[in-house]
Amino acid sequence: MKRKELLKELIVTFQESLPVPVYSRELKLPVDSRKIITVPGVRRCGKSSLFLLVINDLLSSGIKKEQILFLNFDDERLQFNVENLDEILQAYQELYPDISLKNAYLFFDEIQVADGWQPFVRRIYEHTCKNIFITGSNSKMLSSELSTSLRGRTLQYEEFPLSFKEYCSFLNINTNYYTLPNRAKLLAAFRDYLAMGGFPEVVLAGTIYKERILQEYFFVMLYKDLVERYEIKNPEPVRYFIKRVMANLTKPTSINRIYNEMKSQGVSIGKNTLYDLIVQTESVYLFFPLTKYDPSLVKESSGDKKYYCIDNGLRSILLNPMSDDHGKLLENIVYLHLRRHLSLSDSLHYYKNKKECDFLVIEQQQISQLIQVSYDIHDLETRRREIEGLLEAALATGCRKLLILTMEEEEEFVEQGHTIQVLPVWKWMLQVPE
């Protein structure tokens, strides 16, 4: 089948499936912004569902299904490059010659697969249609990474796997934690969420399928997003490196040290390759880096970074359970929750001097909150360590909003003139952001 005929078939088949039942998400995309809406995020986190929600809203408002052009560029039958991208518009106009493209709504899913997509989208936007929505599972979809040709023309809405509130909504779990039965169910649900993460398909799958689905997700990220995209000849050292970073999650990670470990074990891979590789894993949303806070930008960017994983479930299926996993998983989902609600102008860091503080939140160029994460603080030594880290960071930064997040403990106390709040992570995640 010729490409254009296949395109017509895909366009019409999708239109005939409308409207599509879909779970709602916290993130809402604007409909008539007159900007290119970009939705970056990891594979399978629900970016396409955001499109379906917008499309359902459009249909409800009177837009005809024939005005919807949806195309998934990840379809292996489609091989696009800068020379043939125009066939998409040609196919649509041949199907609907009476519909002006300026009145159509274009939804391009996983568009980063196509070479030359940025000038193609810019040309459509400037000369043909303002209703453009695109997703991609690569950091080049971020506003900071887009080519100059698209800057100023886009609005970015980054998507993640399910938040805990969304997780509860998908499973019809009542989030009113003031009644004992609901509280018990919430805590049980949170333990599952802590271990298996929030990819929508995994959350809705039967227990026996969850690990298999996650293994398939990792396989696709490893081989399609990393090995194929970056033309990596030997994937085994890559897999080992990823597991090694996973094991060190939430702690400062030295790539040089990992290189020496791999070299001593006879794993052949160049040091510069590893430095490239960590950036590549960031680009496909597998890992997020966290820099140490320092008033000097040069020093801030030069120290060892901590790394966090896009989803706890991926880490759980890659590594054997270890004694400190619960604490790492708890800190990882706190990072993801903070990162999810971070605006483009804000930032996250960790603090380290004589003591340590897990998260330092900067909003509108001001340090707005200091957060420690500990599975529990029953042990007096652990409690003292978490408090001292908060207090040192508070004295160094002048921040007065101090929080310790745990699995179940809740209290508020004053230490050296500073009020410190202790909350369960699951309760904190269900609260409406201030």
Query: Per residue in 355-408, pLDDT tens?
Result: 999 999 999 889 999 999 999 999 999 999 999 999 999 999 999 999 999 999
pLDDT(234) > 90: no
109 vs 10: CA distance, rounded Å? 13
Tokens for 3, please give them: 């490409």
Residue 338 main-chain phi, psi, to 5 deg: -65, -45
Specify whether the CB–CB gap between 197 and 311 falls below 8 A. yes
Confidence of residue 150 (pLDDT cuts 50, 70, 90): confident
Rounded (5°) CA angle 241-244-247: 155
132-146, 189-203, 238-252, 269-283: which has the minimum mean pLDDT? 132-146
Contacting residues for 203 by C-beta, under 8 A, at least 6 apart: 162, 167, 170, 171, 196
Tokens for 171, please give them: 């499973």
299 vs 48: CA distance, rounded Å? 39
97-106, 139-148, 323-332: which has the minimum mean pLDDT? 139-148
In this prediction, residue 142 carries a pLDDT of 74
143 vs 343: CA distance, rounded Å? 12
Contacting residues for 432 by C-beta, under 8 A, at least 6 apart: none
136 vs 113: CA distance, rounded Å? 8
Q: Tens digits of per-residue pLDDT, 320-340?
A: 766 568 999 999 999 999 999
Q: Is 180 helix (H, G, I), strand (E, B) or coil?
A: helix
The larger pLDDT score, comparing residue 432 to residue 146, is at: 146
Rounded (5°) CA angle 402-405-411: 75
What residues pair up with 181 in beta bridges, in sequence order?
A: none
Q: Which of 367, 391, 368, 387 is nearest to 379 (CA)?
A: 387
Specify whether the CB–CB gap between 134 and 161 falls below 8 A. no
125 vs 128: CA distance, rounded Å? 6
In this prediction, residue 152 carries a pLDDT of 84
Residue 427 main-chain phi, psi, to 5 deg: -70, -40
Confidence of residue 433 (pLDDT cuts 50, 70, 90): low
161-165, 266-270, 287-291: which has the minimum mean pLDDT? 266-270
In this prediction, residue 76 carries a pLDDT of 86
In this prediction, residue 323 carries a pLDDT of 54
Q: Which of 36, 31, 14, 7 is nearest to 129 (CA)?
A: 36
Strand 356-363 vs strand 366-373: parallel, antiparallel, or unpaired?
A: antiparallel
Residue 415 DSSP code: E
What residues pair up with 290 in beta bridges, in sequence order?
A: 306
Cis peptide leading into 19, omega within 30 of 0?
Answer: yes
Q: Which CATH architecture has domain 3-156?
A: 3-Layer(aba) Sandwich (3.40)
In this prediction, residue 187 carries a pLDDT of 95
291 vs 347: CA distance, rounded Å? 10
166-170, 218-222, 297-301, 415-419: which has the minimum mean pLDDT? 297-301
319 vs 169: CA distance, rounded Å? 29
Query: What is the rounded (10 degree) CA torsion for 426, 372, 157, 49?
Result: -30
pLDDT(296) > 60: yes
CB count in 10 Å sphere of residue 181: 9
CA 365 to chain centre: 23
Query: How does 163-173 read in b/e, with b if 16+ C-beta sit within 10 Å?
Result: bbbbbbbbeeb
Q: Tens digits of per-residue pLDDT, 57-88?
A: 999 999 999 999 999 999 888 888 888 999 99
264 vs 283: CA distance, rounded Å? 28
Confidence of residue 300 (pLDDT cuts 50, 70, 90): low
Domains of the chain, residue spans: 3-156, 162-286+313-319
Could you give the C-alpha distances from 155 to 37, 141, 150, 196, 342, in angstroms and in order?
5, 11, 10, 31, 15
Of the chain, the percentage scoring pLDDT greater than 70 comes to 96
Burial class (CB in 10 A: 0-12, 13-18, 19+), 309: buried
Mean pLDDT for all residues in the chain = 93
